[in-house]
């Protein structure tokens, strides 16, 4: 199996989908001639030219609205938000338009768009640039929210997102762009991972760590430490998409391990974790041997200070401390 | 570049600016406007008598449809808002009469006129206002969100100015797919101060998108006059100059002028991928919505009556066609009566239509779910327990 960088896996997915469907078009700020603010789209403009990939002004409401409008005619825009934090200046387009269009038209119109870009803290850029809005958008019926954690997942899920006929909001992480991982070679065939299928990243029997995005890596590291230091065999379940959600996988794992800690970079109040807990207590209450615990970003706006930012975000130490409260 | 106030036919708009700038000033409207100068424009000279009569019929249909809707709204048959287009019929009718198969239309919440002019039928339109299952959007959209993609009509959008980037996108889509067409994107004068509109103007000009933005200037952004809402020097459309975009002003009561100037803009879009900002002077007889309790307070009853008496677009078009000898009073009355009967029948259809089921709430949310695809059957999409 070959390995590749996370950012290159995303690029390969877009490259393949540009080839696969002539209606796929990429646009956003700095995606073309600049080669991408994070080099995710590097080389695509050289290869595909101005028609298939182009730069937009810094006008999120304008270009996302344009993508929504074009998608109703069958164009399939894949738009980059330089930061998902910038969603707030295009909320009308992302929610009132993209999420509601099909509904308000009684099914006469639909919006096959993808919005992708990083949504994470941990880079010292302060509260305006560190939002993790997966919970906000997953709370909107009509939208789909995807949060890949590995290069392979990023590629397979993005290809599924681009082929999906509903609006898909694809949330990456700048701190994962440089990680390397195995990705099936292109010659092995179309590598598409369906949305709504969680993935067990580590099999275990004593406890389930549910995570998505970069938190999957914290959970995996914590699981190794738990095994080595306490002999606790933790399962790590990667949600991969928040909506659609693989409820069956969550419940199956809980029924096996009977204990759960959710690791979630969104905020605790009305976060992704809140919904997961609701589902577990409604459908697997009798299988629980301990209260469900969670490790979220600490409930304050994202700090700028590099001295405490690490502590505000989910991290291995906080996972271990939290696990210790429900299992010896 | 367009020339501001170059002819008598601009006087209506000119008068509106004077009015809103000095709301207490005595009305001094020139009521002798005769809409004939643009009749000779090639796009109008090419009109057959039937096509001219058809536009009269369309305007009658829009008005009768809305009068019927108002009757049922006042009886409590409808929820929410009802933004009436009455008084503005010539704008949608005149502009949309120019549309071909690759031209698209999108507008804001005052959308009934555009929907009907695009070819949407009265029954599903009326039933939608009632929230019935037989509505065009199965009762999920309502008055502000009529859709008819089969007629290239893409809504019906509730947020002021929110449709402007979508219109940009429809036009982008036409261009991307290599088709010769454009998008007519309508907005009210109250929408011109929204940021999304300005982003759209910039991108349309910068990226050479074949969109025609049409400001239907009825003088009031809800209850706030232009003088109190827009810092401007002359026409609102002049703001296009800041984006290097062509613009023009149009007397909306003259169907010929509406068509001549809109056609010019559409041809610029279709042939050169150049956008245009048009400002069409018009007037609404009713409030911002029917729920606008102050509709007769922020303007005088005399002002409304002046428009009804001297500037009613249907009456003027009818007079024009009679003077041309293509329409008789009897035929005109018969067409109007027919429109009224059609609207009444649509009202009856809506009243008698079934209401939606609770189960139907979960239809039309996800394409993949509705179409029972693998993607639609993978993972949980709804969270009601």
The total number of structural domains in chain A stands at: 2
pLDDT at B167 over 70: yes
Instruction: Provide the pLDDT for residue B292.
Output: 80
Which pLDDT belongs to residue A162? 98
Q: What is the pLDDT of residues A284-316, one digit of tens each?
A: 999 999 999 999 999 999 999 999 999 999 999
Same domain, A110 and A8: yes
- Residue B338's SS3 state is helix
User: What mean pLDDT is predicted for residues B66-81?
Assistant: 94
B25-29, B130-134, B377-381: which has the minimum mean pLDDT? B25-29
**Residue A194: inside a domain:** no
| Percent of chain A whose predicted confidence (pLDDT) is above 70 | 100
The per-residue pLDDT for range B78-134, each reduced to its tens digit, is: 988 999 999 999 999 999 999 999 999 999 999 999 999 999 999 999 999 999 999
pLDDT of residue B287: 86
Predicted complex ipTM exceeds 0.90: yes
Structure confidence by residue, pLDDT tens digits, A184-210: 998 899 999 999 999 999 999 999 999
Task: Give the nearest chain B residue to A94 (CA atoms).
Answer: B162
Contacts of A104 in chain B (CB under 8 A): 137, 140-141, 145, 147, 155-156
Residues of chain A with Cβ-Cβ distance to B165 below 8 Å are 61-66, 68-69, 93
Q: In 3D, which of A128, A60, A94 has the Cα closest to residue B200?
A: A60
Q: Which of residues A188, A210, A229 is at a domain's end?
A: A188
Ranges A140-149, B152-161, B222-231, B304-313: which has the least confidence: B222-231
CATH number at residue A319: 3.40.50.920
Q: What is the pLDDT of residue B254?
A: 95
Q: Tell me the chain A residues in contact with residue B140 when contact means C-beta distances shorter than 8 Å.
A: 103-104, 106
| Confidence band of B21 (pLDDT split at 50, 70, 90) | very low
> CB A93 to CB B157 under 8 A?
no
A89 and A178 co-located in one domain? yes
Å from A164 to nearest chain B CA? 7
| Structural domain ending residue among the three candidates A188, A215, A242 | A188
Residue A167 lies in a domain: yes
By CB atoms closer than 10 A (0-12, 13-18, 19+), residue A164 is: buried
Lowest mean pLDDT among A76-90, B36-50, B319-333: B36-50
Does A25 score more than 50 pLDDT?
yes
| Closest by Cβ to A196, choosing from B137, B365, B379 | B379
Determine the residue of chain B that is closest to A75 in CA distance.
B173
What single DSSP character describes residue B266? H
Tell me the CATH number for domain B8-377: 3.40.50.970
Record: contact A105-B370, CB cut-off 8 A: no
Does any domain span residue A251? yes
Tokens of B273: 């991928």
| Domain residue limits at A80 | 2-188
Residue A264 has pLDDT above 90, yes or no: yes
* Contact: A110, B367; criterion CB under 8 Å: yes
Residues A171 and A34 in one domain: yes
What percent of chain B clears pLDDT 70, i.e. is strictly above it? 91
pLDDT of residue B30 exceeding 80: no
CB-based contact B380 A245, cutoff 8 Å: yes
pLDDT value at B26 more than 90: no
Given a cut of 80, whether residue B65 has pLDDT beyond it is yes
**Chain A residues near residue B119 by CB distance under 8 angstroms:** none
3-state class of B216 per DSSP?
A: strand
pLDDT the model gives residue B228? 87
Please check whether residue A175 is in contact with residue A120, taking contact to mean a CB–CB distance below 8 angstroms.
yes
Residue A11 has pLDDT above 70, yes or no: yes
Residue B298: predicted pLDDT: 84
Q: What is the pLDDT of residue B28?
A: 33
Of A45-49, A105-109, B288-292, B350-354, the range with the lowest mean pLDDT is B288-292
Predicted confidence (pLDDT) at residue B14 exceeds the cutoff of 50: no
What is residue A15's predicted lDDT score, i.e. its pLDDT?
98
3-class secondary-structure state, position B106:
strand
- Residues of A labelled as active-site residues: 60, 129
Tell me what percent of the residues of chain B surpass a pLDDT of 90: 81
Shared-domain flag, residues A177 and A48: yes
Model confidence over A106-130: pLDDT tens digits? 999 999 999 999 999 999 999 999 9
pLDDT at A158 over 90: yes
A77 and A225 in a single domain? The answer is no
Distance, in Å, from the CA atom of B52 to the CA atom of B90, rounded to the nearest integer, reads 12
- What is the per-residue pLDDT for A283? 97
Does A193 map to a domain?
no
B173 chain-A contacts, CB cut-off 8 A: 69-75
pLDDT band at B36 (very low <50, low <70, confident <90, very high): low
A140 and A55, same structural domain? yes
8 Å CB contact of A102 and B168:
no
Average pLDDT of A281-286? Answer: 98
Looking at residue B29, its pLDDT comes to: 35
Choose one of A161, A188, A215: the last residue of a domain. A188
Q: How far apart are CA A187 and CA A303, in angstroms?
A: 45
Alpha carbon distance A117, A173 (integer Å): 8
> Average per-residue pLDDT in chain A?
97
Residues in CB range of A107: below 8 A, 6 or more apart = B138, B363, B364, B367, B370
Classify B280 as helix, strand or coil: strand
Tell me, yes or no, whether A60 and A159 share the same domain. Answer: yes
Residue B239, classed as helix, strand or coil, is helix
Domain annotation covers residue A305? yes
Confidence of residue B9 (pLDDT cuts 50, 70, 90): very low
Query: Do residue A109 and residue B149 have CB atoms under 8 angstroms apart?
Result: yes
Half-sphere exposure in the Cβ direction for B181 (13 Å, CA) = 24
Minimum-distance CB partner of B200 among A62, A243, A279: A62
A177 plus A147 within the same structural domain: yes
* Same-domain pairing of A126 and A49: yes
Q: What CATH code is carried by the domain that includes residue A20?
A: 3.40.50.970
**With 70 as the cut, is the pLDDT of residue B23 above it?**
no
Task: Summarize the confidence of residues B224-237 as an average pLDDT.
Answer: 86
Give the nearest chain A residue to B205 (CA atoms).
A57
Q: Does residue A265 lie in a domain region?
A: yes
| pLDDT score of B6 more than 60 | no
Name which of A63, A104, A144, A279 to mutate to probe chain B: the one with the most chain B Cβ atoms within 10 A of its Cβ.
A104
Compare B22 and A269 and report the one with higher pLDDT.
A269
Q: Is the pLDDT of residue B25 over 70?
A: no
Q: Say whether B371 and A165 touch across the interface (CB within 8 A).
A: yes
State the pLDDT confidence band at A65, using cuts at 50, 70 and 90.
very high
């Amino acid at each position: 199996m070959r390995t590749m960088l996370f950012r290159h896996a995303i690029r390969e997915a877009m490259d393949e989908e540009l080839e696969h469907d002539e209606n796929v078009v990429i646009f956003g700020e700095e995606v073309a001639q600049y080669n991408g603010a994070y080099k995710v789209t590097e080389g695509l403009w050289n290869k595909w030219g101005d028609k298939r990939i182009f730069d937009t002004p810094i006008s999120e409401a304008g270009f996302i609205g344009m993508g929504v409008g074009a998608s109703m005619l069958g164009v399939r825009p894949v738009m980059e938000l330089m930061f998902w934090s910038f969603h707030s200046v295009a909320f009308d387009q992302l929610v009132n338009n993209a999420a509601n269009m099909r509904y308000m038209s009684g099914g006469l119109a639909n919006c096959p768009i993808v919005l992708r870009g990083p949504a994470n803290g941990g880079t010292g850029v302060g509260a305006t640039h560190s939002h993790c809005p997966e919970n906000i958008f997953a709370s909107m019926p009509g939208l789909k929210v995807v949060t890949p954690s590995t290069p392979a997942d990023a590629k397979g899920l993005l290809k599924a997102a681009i082929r999906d006929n509903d609006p898909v909001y694809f949330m990456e992480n700048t701190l994962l762009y440089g990680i390397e991982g195995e990705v099936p070679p292109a010659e092995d065939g179309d590598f598409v991972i369906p949305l709504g299928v969680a993935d067990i990243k580590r099999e275990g029997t004593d406890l389930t760590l549910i995570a998505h995005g970069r938190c999957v890596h914290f959970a995996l590291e914590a699981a190794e430490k738990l095994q080595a230091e306490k002999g606790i065999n933790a399962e790590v379940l990667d949600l991969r998409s928040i909506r659609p959600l693989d409820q069956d996988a969550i419940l199956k794992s809980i029924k096996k391990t009977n204990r759960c800690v959710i690791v979630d970079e969104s905020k605790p109040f009305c976060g992704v974790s809140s919904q997961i807990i609701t589902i577990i207590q409604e459908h697997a209450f009798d299988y629980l041997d301990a209260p469900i615990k969670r490790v979220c970003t600490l409930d304050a706006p994202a700090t700028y200070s590099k001295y405490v930012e690490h502590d505000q975000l989910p991290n291995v130490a906080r996972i271990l401390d939290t696990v210790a409260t429900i299992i010896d | 570049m367009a020339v501001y106030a170059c002819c008598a036919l601009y006087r209506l708009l000119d008068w509106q600016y004077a009015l809103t700038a000095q709301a207490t000033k005595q009305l001094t409207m020139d009521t002798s406007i005769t809409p004939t100068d643009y009749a000779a424009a090639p796009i109008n000279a090419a009109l057959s008598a039937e096509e001219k009569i058809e536009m009269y019929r369309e305007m009658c249909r829009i008005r009768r449809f809305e009068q019927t809707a108002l009757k049922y709204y006042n009886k409590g048959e409808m929820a929410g808002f009802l933004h009436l287009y009455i008084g503005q019929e010539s704008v949608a009718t005149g502009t949309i009469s120019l549309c071909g198969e690759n031209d698209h239309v999108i507008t804001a919440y005052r959308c009934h006129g555009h929907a009907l002019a695009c070819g949407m039928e009265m029954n599903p339109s009326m039933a939608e206002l009632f929230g019935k299952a037989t509505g065009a959007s199965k009762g999920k959209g309502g008055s502000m969100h009529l859709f008819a993609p089969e007629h290239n009509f893409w809504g019906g959008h509730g947020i002021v100015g929110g449709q402007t980037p979508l219109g940009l996108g429809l036009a982008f889509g036409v261009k991307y797919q290599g088709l010769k067409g454009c998008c007519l994107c309508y907005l009210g004068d109250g929408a011109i101060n929204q940021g999304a509109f300005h982003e759209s103007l910039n991108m349309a000009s910068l990226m050479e998108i074949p969109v025609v933005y049409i400001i239907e200037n009825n003088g009031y952004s809800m209850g706030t006059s232009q003088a109190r809402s827009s810092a401007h020097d002359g026409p609102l459309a002049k703001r296009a100059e800041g984006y290097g975009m062509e613009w023009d002003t149009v007397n909306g009561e003259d169907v010929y002028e509406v068509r001549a100037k809109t056609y010019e803009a559409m041809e610029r879009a279709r042939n050169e991928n150049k956008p245009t900002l048009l400002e069409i002077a018009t007037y609404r007889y009713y409030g911002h919505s029917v729920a606008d309790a102050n509709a007769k307070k922020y303007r005088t009853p005399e002002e409304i009556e002046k428009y009804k008496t001297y500037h009613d677009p249907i009456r003027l078009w009818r007079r024009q066609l009679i003077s041309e000898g293509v329409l008789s009073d009897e035929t005109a009355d018969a067409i109007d009566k027919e429109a009224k009967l059609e609207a009444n029948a649509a009202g009856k259809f809506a009243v008698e239509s079934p209401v939606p089921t609770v189960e139907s709430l979960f239809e039309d949310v996800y394409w993949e779910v509705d179409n029972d695809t693998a993607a639609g059957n993978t993972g949980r999409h709804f969270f009601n327990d």
